[in-house]
Chains A and B, each alone.
Chain A
Amino acid sequence: MNFARHAFLIAVSTFLAFGSAKAVLAQGADEKMLLHPPADSWPGYHGDYSGRRHSSLNQVTPQNVGNLALAWAFQTNQTAPIKSSPLLVDGILYITVPDNIWAVDARSGHQIWHYNRPTSQGEHIGNRGVAMYKGYLFFSSPDAHLVSLNAKDGTVRWKVQVADVTIGYWTSMAPLIVENHVLVGVSGDFDNLSGYIRAIDPETGATQWQWNSTPPTGTPNQTTGGMTWMTGTYDPDLNLVYWGTGNPTPVLNGSTRPGDDPHTCSIVALNPDTGKLAWAFQVSPHDTHDWDAVETPVLVDGDFHGEPKKMLMQSSRNGYFFVLDRTNGKSLLTVPYGPVDWALGIDSQGRPIPNPAKEPAPDGRLIAPDEGGMTNYRSPSFDTKNGLFIVDAHPSWSLYFAKPADGVYGWAGADYGVWGKGVIEAIDYQTGKIRWSHELGPESGAGVLTTDSGVTFTGDGMGNFLALDSSDGKTLWHAGSGSYIVSSPITYELGGRQYLLTSSGGVLFAWALPQAH
């Protein structure tokens, strides 16, 4: 008996020793981890490269999610709301707000280190999180620099300029690591500037290539804009990176930029090694409503009307849901997922045809959706089990104005939201039909996460975290958070326990099933 117990303890110790040896050997986010994230990691903005924000974890189920309880909470003690998606590598979480990064123990929620470098330039509207390559972190600062830090202690390795903050750029996005490239995008809207994606060497900070979404400022009859606000996705087999581009500038007045204004409001496919454009699909030709197409380009392999397809799906800010063949950028489906009144129809390429009568005008035009759009930067999720694309939508109406006195620089007009609401929509990707919907009250800023067990995690417009049944949208669990939710949830498993990570205001919440102490 004693011997047996002793032997058992040795076995346990040996197991633990192997477990910790593995942890000691962990060297940050290597290529293998980024391609196939283990259950105890969330090594990129979207988790994996697909942008599906769908987890294979199944400890938390529709049957037991009602028991979900707080495991821990982490408070930034700042008024800036957390808009980032946490990164998790080697048991350590990294969350951000502008000028700040926290490294937090994913088991306990206690702070390991805090990077805080106030910058005085650039719009401080939010930060979407860090990227990781080996043991290095990469962080976009409001003054349009890329900062690289040592993940172990938050010390700065180098800081390089990505764009010139003094002429109107800033940065807020979470970089994307592909092989030995750190891919970064730029933000801006108040100036007639070109958007671009830049690849930066993770070791040295040197620029590897740059792809410009629009011609240089001042090119006659050509648009500017096409900012690259958000993190793209990646298909390693096709070796293509997919990225959404923002609206053209001037924003609400298209008179100086006749035609379609390529490559604004577009989904583009680039070779990550060269930056060469493989194809581009424009979701909003000649946009005059500020509808960036930077929502997650979600990559799904599966059946489309009886044929296996490599697809790309986007619930776009302009109110349309798009399914493309991501090998060539050809349209498979274009269908609205809420009220839209600005298009005359769909052209032969699957693009909405903008109605000139719905461009902003001196006496105003009633437009659906509003400028914030049918959705925005918050992440959707593709539920692989039910074949549903689940998005936090915002059916809405607004008034758009533009007159000659408003000029042709920057905004060049005005718009006013009149009414809107929030609703989680589960879209059948083969038809665009809404399989189920769940009303949220006013617009919610919460993204969506789905799990193989059949649970959808999100939040409503009053600050309640929600768990819904992925098959019908019924509420399974909720918790009032005390503030507004403007981030997307993640999940991971550590020590045999599945955690759901959500944030609202300046607080990060970890939820798990109750555990004996």
Chain B
Amino acid sequence: MMNSLLSTRSAVLAAAWLISVVASTAQTSANTKQSDSGVKQNPAAAKSYPPDLVQQGSALFRKDCSFCHGRDAGGGETGPDLTRSKLVTADVSGDKIGEVVRDGRPDKGMPPFDRSDQQIASLVAFIHTQQDNALASAGGRSGSGGRKGVDASDLQTGNAEAGKQYFEGAGGCAACHSPSGDLAGLASRYSGLELEEQMLYPRHAKSKVSITLASGQTIGGTLAYLDEFTIGLIDSTGTYRSWRTRDVRYKVDPALNAHVELFPKYTDADIHNLMAYLQTLR
């Protein structure tokens, strides 16, 4: 029971994240282009903000955000690089950033912040300005002390043929995946660091769960919540339902366990080779 608990939790949390990213990307896809760093750039977003507002945002960001996201918004301890954030790119006048600031991302450790509209406007001005600056001078952010980015070009040290052999052989990937099936066109959907992260652990994946009630009735669905005491799913009608774990038997699709079991087996070369191979699946 405990093993099934662990293998699914991240997936559930990630699924919620995926929904928000897909939604935000969909709204802006008509007017975007792909930049060299893999960040979709919206020309309309590259507007300039009043220097005073940016300065206010910088001070507030330093106080409340910089530990996790870096002073320059380029990433810090545990928090993502906002200059490469698709959500930031998709944000128009704070419509998405404001929501994240006010509600937090509790599942990822980000608390909500109770800030005024004016304060959020200043944060939005600062974050967009930092993203615009980063895109304008890729790799040129020195002296800020913040975490630095990873470009797709950094990840090209592998050998695709060796990666294919690993995929079909030692890695055991072919047991679940097929280059002409579920992975067809993978490299068109993901690139760079995001592709490598997905390869190592597909946090976007949703887990299927099957629950058997005391009556013997079986209910299937998508896992929506699981802890030691409660299990919840979204059933085929889109309805959330939950039970005490002690009252039912449940089985979570264990497919993601295979990714976790690979971590101690990989060499760094295996990862780079696999990455090279997956990038051929366009």
Which residues of chain A have C-beta atoms less than 8 A from B75's C-beta?
Answer: 411, 414
On whether the beta carbons of B78 and A372 are closer than 8 Å, the reply is yes
A-B contact pairs, 16 of them (CB 8 A): A125-B67, A190-B76, A290-B77, A361-B268, A363-B154, A397-B263, A399-B197, A403-B154, A409-B142, A415-B147, A419-B203, A419-B260, A421-B6, A442-B10, A462-B9, A464-B229
Complex Cα distance, B142 from A411, in Å, reads 11
From B112, which residue of chain A is reached at the shortest CB distance? A79
From A413, which residue of chain B is reached at the shortest CB distance? B148
On whether the beta carbons of A410 and B150 are closer than 8 Å, the reply is no
Contact (A439, B6) CB under 8 Å given A399-B196, A401-B150: yes
Q: Determine if B250 is an interface residue (Cβ-Cβ < 8 Å).
A: no
Q: Determine if B111 is an interface residue (Cβ-Cβ < 8 Å).
A: yes
Stretch at the interface among B24-32, B45-53, B57-65, B126-134: B57-65
From B144, which residue of chain A is reached at the shortest CB distance? A410
Complex Cα distance, B71 from A189, in Å, reads 11
Please report A residues at the B interface, Cβ cutoff 8 Å: 78-81, 120-125, 142, 168, 189-191, 290, 339, 341, 357, 361-366, 368, 371-372, 397, 399, 401-403, 405-407, 409-421, 439, 441-442, 445, 460-462, 464, 475, 478, 480, 483-484
Which residues of chain B have C-beta atoms less than 8 A from A401's C-beta?
Answer: 148, 150, 154
From A404, which residue of chain B is reached at the shortest CB distance? B139
On whether the beta carbons of B66 and A190 are closer than 8 Å, the reply is yes
Complex Cα distance, B139 from A405, in Å, reads 6
On whether the beta carbons of A418 and B149 are closer than 8 Å, the reply is no
Complex Cα distance, B70 from A442, in Å, reads 24
Residue with the greatest number of chain B CB neighbours at <10 A, chosen from A365, A417, A462: A462
CB distance from A481 to the nearest CB of B (A): 12
From A462, which residue of chain B is reached at the shortest CB distance? B227
Q: Which of B10, B68, B150 contacts A364 (CB 8 A)?
A: B150
On whether the beta carbons of B227 and A464 are closer than 8 Å, the reply is yes
Complex Cα distance, B151 from A401, in Å, reads 11
On whether the beta carbons of B193 and A464 are closer than 8 Å, the reply is no
Q: Determine if B181 is an interface residue (Cβ-Cβ < 8 Å).
A: no
Q: Determine if B200 is an interface residue (Cβ-Cβ < 8 Å).
A: yes
On whether the beta carbons of A411 and B6 are closer than 8 Å, the reply is no
Contact (A190, B226) CB under 8 Å given A124-B63, A364-B155, A364-B271: no
Q: Determine if B2 is an interface residue (Cβ-Cβ < 8 Å).
A: yes
On whether the beta carbons of B147 and A414 are closer than 8 Å, the reply is yes
CB distance from A341 to the nearest CB of B (A): 7
On whether the beta carbons of A461 and B9 are closer than 8 Å, the reply is yes
On whether the beta carbons of B78 and A411 are closer than 8 Å, the reply is no
Q: Determine if B91 is an interface residue (Cβ-Cβ < 8 Å).
A: no
CB distance from A340 to the nearest CB of B (A): 10
Write out, one digit per residue, whether chain B residues 67-107 have a CB within 8 A of any chain A CB (1) or not (0): 11011000111100100000000000000000000001011
On whether the beta carbons of B9 and A418 are closer than 8 Å, the reply is no
On whether the beta carbons of A478 and B228 are closer than 8 Å, the reply is yes
Q: Closest 6 CB pairs between A and B?
A: A410-B145, A190-B145, A406-B148, A439-B2, A363-B157, A125-B67
On whether the beta carbons of A168 and B268 are closer than 8 Å, the reply is no
Complex Cα distance, B264 from A289, in Å, reads 18
Complex Cα distance, B106 from A484, in Å, reads 7
From B104, which residue of chain A is reached at the shortest CB distance? A79
Contact (A417, B78) CB under 8 Å given A362-B154, A407-B143: yes
Contact (A419, B263) CB under 8 Å given A362-B154, A410-B144: yes
Complex Cα distance, B258 from A383, in Å, reads 36
